[in-house]
A and B are shown apart, each in its own frame.
Chain A
């Protein structure tokens, strides 16, 4: 069964004591920037947490997107890479011998298809020292468009709530402080607000004006402020930005990920 078959950190004493970790919702734009991972306890089996820039820690994600490509990038054994695309960018999931259900699914699925997955965040360091984020699925299933749209709307709401809370933080949320520390004092959340607008547009919702960080008043009615949106949306619209590298050596990435995965 999916729950017991897979990852080392999904059925441990730590989990039993504190209960199952909640599955966070995030878009690719934010999730791919969650490069800082940490543990909150010294115990060997304590859960790995990825720090979302919006000021929350995630041990598990629930994500819905379109799988556009699946490749076996393994050398000695099967190692499946899936490209999963959403309204804000692309994320990558990898499944190998320790994720038998996910492997079976990926080897079988015919892209393009809407898929829902619960997954653990994982990171690996590339040759030039940058950190890339990937996902290790616990469950993957095919879903329909209505489910996918429901998820997008839900993720817009939950991400917006995190961003608001970040801005209004009075110091009581340790993850906000950690985010500033890890991702830079001048971390701009506008990037993610812009991504949310892309997501809104994708499901037929109105964009929300991004508060001008220099002024107090938040909104200028008239959501199509071309200047603002262009600035914020620029980097996100370009899908290549979200890929790990320009020209991707899939096999090298796969090896690095596999090694990183085993170390955990």
Chain B
């Protein structure tokens, strides 16, 4: 993919240029060419080719430069582009695995002292769903971030260390200042509680989720609020209420956490539901097994919900 590999044939490279050019043009709004025509593919390819092959500019960098050039020419704001980056748009709370490419819009909450020369900047960024550590590698040669500034990061890569996630900005990433202010949520704190489970709420047990990519909505009567009637995919979860006599804590068990606390797997649940020809038997079984009993549960809190990682019976 990177244009700097020495043995790339000219033809293959040309295909890459065409692809990059086409992608770039598609990002511009249809009504962009008020004064002149939008550049055609050949023109963009030729611009990219010059940078990549005559001046040894990496393709990503060349693409960025070309995009900015056309933004100037057409007087368009960056925010008006439709970017379908290789990194999907995400909120910080979505980040739950490493080595993923994502794009985020964040505010710089804190800047720290880099601990080595290979790090240009390091600190804490946040959006409304929470906060994460970020690191910008010096090699990436990216614009400097300011504390309090709001930026769009494209193509950053996630990493994980001892259960905590963070993002890294490298030479594939880009930074663009954003003109809006955004709200920063609290740190997704870790919480551990000891209390009886006093209720299991509706929407628990065997549920179906929308199969559309990036849509994980729970179906109501076979319908997704966004996509209408769809063939859902099964999932198992518990929306529980814990109450120690002083505070109420809502909690969500995903299918693994449900298995841990109840010994019911999604396969067990599907079998149960099939045998009874009724999915609600699963929720009722969970109630029988769990409600009224004492547990220690821990996990991260997002909003009002504790997302359970671990659950152990007490008593």
Contact = CB atoms under 8 A, between A and B. Distances in A.
Given A143-B292, A143-B293, A116 B196 contact: yes
Contact of B291 (A21, A22, A24, A139): A139
A22 B242 CA distance: 10
Interface string B195-213: 0101111111000000000
A118 interface: yes
A89 B204 CA distance: 36
A3 B287 contact: no
B287 A147 contact: no
Interface string A209-243: 00000000000000000000000000000000000
A139 B292 contact: yes
Contacts of B204: 1
A142 interface: yes
A151 B198 CA distance: 12
Interface stretch (B109-117, B165-173, B227-235, B244-252): B244-252
A25 interface: yes
Given A3-B202, A149-B315, A116 B293 contact: yes
A1 B245 contact: no
A2 B199 contact: yes
A140 B293 CA distance: 11
Interface residues of B, number: 25
B201 A1 contact: yes
Nearest to A115: B292
A232 B73 CA distance: 91
Nearest to B289: A141
B199 A118 contact: yes
A246 interface: no
Contact of A147 (B199, B250, B288, B294): B294
Contacts of A25: 245
A2 B241 CA distance: 12
Interface residues of A, number: 32
Contact of B202 (A4, A115, A139): A4
A106 to B, nearest CB: 14
Nearest to A64: B292
A19 B241 CA distance: 12
B90 interface: no
Interface in A59-102: 62, 64, 101
A91 to B, nearest CB: 16
B163 to A, nearest CB: 30
A138 B315 contact: no
Given A116-B291, A143-B292, A1 B200 contact: yes
**Listed residue (A21, A22, A24) with the most chain B CB atoms within 10 angstroms of its CB:** A22
Contact of B199 (A22, A64, A139, A154): A139
Nearest to B288: A141
A165 interface: no
6 contacts: A1-B200, A20-B241, A23-B198, A62-B245, A140-B292, A141-B292
Interface of B: 196, 198-204, 241, 243, 245-248, 250, 280, 283, 287-288, 291-294, 314-315
